[in-house]
């Protein structure tokens, strides 16, 4: 079944991936500050831009102490095998790439830049295909800004 020309499974994968990434969005430039964060996201899927969205999230010191856990997805799809093919982490940057092959082929990459303990930017890109046909080409631009203490 299709939704807006995109296979339903691909739509679910993209939404689950976005929820995983944006649900925990925050950073640590040589020490990410815990607190309330405003996360702004701009998604482009198959050439169509979604409206920019923003929300807030309280990040605890425990959550902000591990960038790898916070920003690197444990990516799984039904009937596909996934592996991390690239990973680099420094106090000011995080870059990863995952590839999944099988019923649904996915190539997903994240590039995060932590410029201060109170601000970061990121880009997540993903391409998905089934039977060799591109079914989703997505790019997400993210900006995170600490706005104060948790409420």
Give CA–CA dist 137/127, Å, rounded: 5
Residue 30 has what pLDDT? 65
Per DSSP (E only), the strands in 31-132 are 35-45, 48-49, 53-59, 80-90, 93-102, 105-116, 119-130
pLDDT in tens, 136-151: 999 999 999 999 999 8
Looking at the DSSP bridge assignments, the partners of residue 121 are 113, 143
pTM confidence score: 0.76
- 119: helix, strand or coil: strand
DSSP lists the bridge partners of residue 28 as: none
Question: How large is the greatest C-alpha to C-alpha distance in the chain, in angstroms?
Answer: 48
Cα–Cα dist 140/138, whole Å: 7
Tokens found for residue 101? 């092959």
pLDDT tens string 2-33:
344 444 444 444 444 444 444 433 333 466 89
- The pair of structure tokens assigned to 147 is 């706005």
pLDDT digits (tens, 9 = 90+) for 59-108: 999 988 887 888 887 766 677 788 899 999 888 899 999 999 988 899 99
The residues with which 35 forms a beta bridge, in sequence order, are 59
């Amino acid at each position: 079944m299709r939704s807006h020309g995109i296979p339903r499974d691909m739509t679910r994968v993209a939404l689950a991936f976005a929820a995983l990434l944006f649900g925990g969005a925050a950073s640590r430039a040589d020490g990410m500050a815990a607190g309330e964060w405003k996360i702004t996201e701009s998604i482009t899927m198959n050439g169509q831009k979604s409206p920019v969205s923003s929300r807030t999230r309280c990040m605890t010191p425990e959550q902000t102490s591990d960038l790898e856990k916070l920003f690197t997805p444990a990516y799984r799809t039904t009937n596909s095998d996934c592996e991390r093919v690239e990973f680099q982490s420094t106090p000011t940057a995080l870059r990863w790439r995952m590839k999944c092959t099988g019923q649904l082929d996915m190539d997903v990459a994240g590039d995060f830049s932590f410029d201060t303990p109170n601000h970061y930017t990121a880009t997540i890109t993903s391409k998905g295909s089934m039977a060799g046909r591109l079914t989703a080409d997505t790019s997400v631009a993210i900006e995170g800004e600490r706005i104060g203490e948790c409420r």
